[in-house]
A and B are shown apart, each in its own frame.
Chain A
Amino acid sequence: MIERIKQMLIKEFIQIFRDPRMKAVIFLMPAVQLVVFGYAVTTDVRHVRLAVYDLDHSEASRELIARFVKSGYFDIAAYAATAEQVRRRMDRGQVQAAVQINRGFMEDLRAGRTAVVQLLLDGTDSNTAAVVLDYSARITREFSEQVWLSRLSRYPGSPPEPTGVQLRTRAWFNENLESRNFYIPGVIAIIVMLITLMLTSMAVVREKEIGTMEQILVTPITPSEFILGKTVPFALIGFADVVLITLLGVFWFGVPIRGNLFLLFGATALYLMTTLGVGLLISTVSQTQQQAMMSTFFFYFPAVLLSGFMFPIANMPAVIQGLTYLNPLRYFLVIVRGIFLKGVGPGILWPQMVALAGMGLVVLWLASRRFRKTLA
């Protein structure tokens, strides 16, 4: 039996790597993807292109604008002289936000009245717009508070320095709030899922389509040996890819690994069981490689979207949230992020690991049952 599985493994490896381009796809592509996507996938909003539409031209208006620049979030991309210019630049996407300071700004401030600042935002990217809105609110609030305090000190009988609640914020796990640290463990998970799914989903159906399945049927190999022969090579490839891109993530991007590496690999094994199982199941129910490819996609895309990789699960409708419990990526993301960033151990991660193991066993069982039926 061992001998037969060994032969099967040799055959699979020969088949996969017969085309030298396949090596590049399996080992080079994930690395390139991680590097490119690791840089691209960021929700940090910096260097917002700001247009200044200053009608007051006063000391106070310049001071307010200086605060926007000093915050580090804004770059002044244009000084507009008319509202029309602002509009045109925004249409062309040359600026993402504009501050409009009307005439009489400084006068209002001096006289102790409330001065109005108009903020214009390009809402086409609603996420960036919301963040820019938040930045601007903070900058103007600080400016406002300072002026308010100086006004207060001019009134007799006022306390010299009113005190309130001081908020001391500390971000755990990711002190500088870099979105890269959050996304890269996730990118590793989705790349590995794609590779293993695609390889296994094609594995059985290719034999059917090309007609080599009949040759296998006449050999003494048993169905379970065949299934093992079709999963073990891809599991090994998946592992190699995980190691490769984890190293890249740690040494190239400097993502911290705070938890236990053995735990990470153990969890990866469970995760690969589920992706290989799903791939195999797809392969056994498909008639052609085209169908297998489409079914893979049909599974993969929702799996990525409903995993919490970029869209927080807590904000989804309840029905969809229920659906995410069927998604192996959901559990694996909690595990990788927990191990990379939080450094937590099995004491906290065991429910996710149990879920992965359970799902893996169920899909592998389904796939092999389905496969026996195909043969019969």
Chain B
Amino acid sequence: MNLLRVWAMSRKELLHIARDPRSLGMAIAIPMLLLVLFGYALTLDVDNVPLVVWDQDGSHASRAFVSRFTGSPYFSLRGYVRNGQQLERAVDSGKALVGLVLPPDFAGRVDSGREVPVQLIVDGSDSNTATIAMGYADGVVRAYSQELASRQIRRRGGVEPAWPLEVRPRVWFNPELESKNYIIPGLIAVIMMVIAALLTSLTVAREWERGTMEQLISTPVKGRELILGKLLPYFAIGMLDVLLAVLMGEFLFQVPLRGNVALLFAMAAIFLAGALALGMTISIVTKSQLLASQVAMVLTFLPAFLLSGFMYAISNMPQAIQWVTYLIPARYFVALLKGIYLKGIGLNILMLEAGLLTLFALLMLALANVKFHKKLE
């Protein structure tokens, strides 16, 4: 390997990049945009569930019961309905996710100590939100029932026994359960996978398509040197993106970084090298920009996004899909990032992930070299 030739190749690639400032701008802007969106705009937390109420009683007691719902931060009242049809329409059109139906003799039943049936209609299409909303409603209703029971006991002059269990939950690693703390570290992995795909997947295919590959073939540059030379500038851009992302996480979003920063960047470098080599391999194999862009999107972005455990916990997936995730390098990097960021753990625990990540990078670099033939067909 001749370093001078590698450098010449890198310089040529840098010129290409400099000549296309729009692409370079987007390579920097996309990560920032994603971070801002995830940091500020997107949350999986469920609150302000839109609620409509069908109060068939309209008494003081029923209004007091409804105010338990509307007074909590979990529900937001979108209006009252007067019949079942209106309720159905409100849920059908998505105006409300939850409908609360109170029976006509609500107050009477409460006063006489009879059972009070209250119906809760939930739009189940979004099962996650529905489950959580049902949990909230259950909590509100039980608290109310508890109070009713206490009142009954006191009225009869009875003694109220102590509540038997007290649960003290303690959340480790992310005590406030803030979704940004868990999303932003994982997001770095997704961003880098995407940047790698966007940057390198076209770079060799472009040369083939435009015919400039023939010029390169006629130079003494070797396959290895060409690949390395093309990778280096994009590696620099990718590491710049990582740096920006880490800085934004630290100063803009205050995501705690409990582990070793050097380890974080070392792992990022390994992952980036592998991802760039993957993009390069796609480019080498397809030789067409159209095909390369499609393949790159399919192989990098969506798997990194959906199968890496970044958003959807891997342990909740069916076993067969869990096996598939072992083929996704972003999986290891997400685990590493979350471990380093939130748990503050080091290589002694993350050995397996780090090892597999390195293996992936080496395999990809080797593959790019094997697949690249410096000759015309």
Instruction: Tell me, yes or no, whether A binds B.
Output: yes
Q: Which residues of A contact B (CB under 8 A)?
A: 19, 21-22, 25-26, 29, 33, 36-37, 39-47, 49, 90-93, 96, 109, 112-131, 133-134, 136-138, 140-141, 143-145, 147-148, 151-152, 154-159, 162-175, 177-179, 181-182, 194-195, 198-199, 202, 206, 209-210, 287-291, 293-295, 297-298, 301-302, 305-306, 310-312, 314-317, 320, 334, 337-338, 341-342, 344, 348
How far, in angstroms, from A22 to B144 measured CA to CA in the complex? 62
Q: B122 near A134 (CB under 8 angstroms)? A: no
A43-B316, A301-B34 are contacts. A178–B165 as well, Cβ < 8 Å?
no
How far, in angstroms, from A302 to B161 measured CA to CA in the complex? 55
Q: B291 near A293 (CB under 8 angstroms)? A: no
How far, in angstroms, from A356 to B94 measured CA to CA in the complex? 18
Q: Which residues of B contact A (CB under 8 A)?
A: 20, 22-23, 26-27, 29-30, 33-34, 37-38, 40-48, 50, 65, 89, 91-94, 113-132, 134-135, 137-139, 141-142, 144-146, 148-149, 152-153, 156-159, 161-175, 177-179, 181-182, 194, 198, 201-202, 206, 209-210, 286, 288-291, 293-295, 297-298, 301-302, 306-307, 311-313, 315-318, 320-321, 324-325, 335, 338-339, 342-343, 345, 349
Q: A316 near B27 (CB under 8 angstroms)? A: no
Closest Cβ neighbor of B132 among chain A residues? A134
Closest Cβ neighbor of B298 among chain A residues? A29
Q: A36 near B177 (CB under 8 angstroms)? A: no
Closest Cβ neighbor of A21 among chain B residues? B291
Partner of A42, one of B126, B170, B316, B342: B316
- Other A-B contacts than A120-B170, A198-B297, A293-B198, 15 sampled, CB-CB below 8 A, are A114-B164, A118-B167, A120-B171, A137-B167, A143-B165, A167-B120, A167-B138, A177-B131, A291-B23, A297-B30, A302-B37, A305-B37, A310-B311, A315-B47, A317-B40
Q: A45 near B316 (CB under 8 angstroms)? A: yes
Ordered nearest first, which 8 A-B pairs have the shortest CB separation? A164-B145, A123-B174, A171-B124, A174-B124, A162-B149, A151-B161, A147-B164, A123-B171
- Minimum C-beta distance from B376 to chain A (A): 18
- Minimum C-beta distance from A190 to chain B (A): 9
How far, in angstroms, from A138 to B138 measured CA to CA in the complex? 9
- Minimum C-beta distance from B322 to chain A (A): 9
Can you list 17 A-B pairs, Cβ within 8 angstroms, ordered by A? A21-B291, A36-B324, A40-B306, A116-B165, A118-B167, A120-B169, A123-B175, A130-B132, A137-B167, A162-B153, A164-B144, A199-B294, A288-B206, A289-B290, A301-B33, A306-B41, A334-B94
Q: A294 near B316 (CB under 8 angstroms)? A: no
How far, in angstroms, from A120 to B169 measured CA to CA in the complex? 6
Q: B293 near A306 (CB under 8 angstroms)? A: no
Q: B125 near A174 (CB under 8 angstroms)? A: yes
Q: A22 near B291 (CB under 8 angstroms)? A: yes
Q: B37 near A306 (CB under 8 angstroms)? A: yes
Which A residues are in CB contact (< 8 Å) with B94? Answer: 334, 338
Q: A159 near B316 (CB under 8 angstroms)? A: no
Q: B202 near A293 (CB under 8 angstroms)? A: yes
Closest Cβ neighbor of A118 among chain B residues? B168
Closest Cβ neighbor of A314 among chain B residues? B48
How far, in angstroms, from A126 to B169 measured CA to CA in the complex? 14
How far, in angstroms, from A1 to B221 measured CA to CA in the complex? 51
Partner of A91, one of B125, B168, B318, B349: B349
- Minimum C-beta distance from B184 to chain A (A): 12
- Minimum C-beta distance from A207 to chain B (A): 12
Which B residues are in CB contact (< 8 Å) with A138? Answer: 135, 138
Closest Cβ neighbor of B161 among chain A residues? A151
Which A residues are in CB contact (< 8 Å) with B335? Answer: 93
Which A residues are in CB contact (< 8 Å) with B291? Answer: 19, 21-22, 25
